[in-house]
Amino acid sequence: MANMTQTCLRCQKQYLIIDQEQAFLNQKGLALPTMCPSCRQLRRLSLRGGRQLFKTTCQKCQKEIVVSFDPQKVKQPIFCKEDYEKFLLENDLIVKDPLPNI
């Protein structure tokens, strides 16, 4: 098979389908792509759902932080990385009361 040039159905740009890709798709019984790699990547990302980030403050040191959950909907305290690590050391049962050596 020879390399093919196709036109993207979405953005109308020309893109190349190399012979190795054609052989792989043919072996797997898949159709040739109808969109360029950039448009295919955008389509895959759109299927994942968007991520929303929120600005808030650490409830211990009042430092400005960015979190991936809505601070208005969370009942647990929100800490910066440093304060969260301190919190874990102080409250983690495994660290405070490890299993005895047998």
> Measuring CA to CA, which residue among 51, 58, 59, 17 is closest to residue 34?
17
What Cα–Cα distance (Å) separates residue 84 from each residue in 24, 34, 59, 77, 87?
48, 48, 10, 10, 5
29 and 10 within one domain: yes
The number of distinct structural domains making up the chain is 2
Task: Copy the structure tokens of residue 75.
Answer: 């009942």
67 and 39 part of one domain = no
Q: Is residue 60 part of a domain?
A: yes
pLDDT of residue 46: 86
For residue 102, being part of any structural domain is answered with no
- Predicted confidence (pLDDT) per residue in 34-75, tens digit: 999 999 999 998 888 778 899 999 999 999 999 999 999 999
Prediction pTM value: 0.50
For residue 34, the enclosing domain spans: 4-48
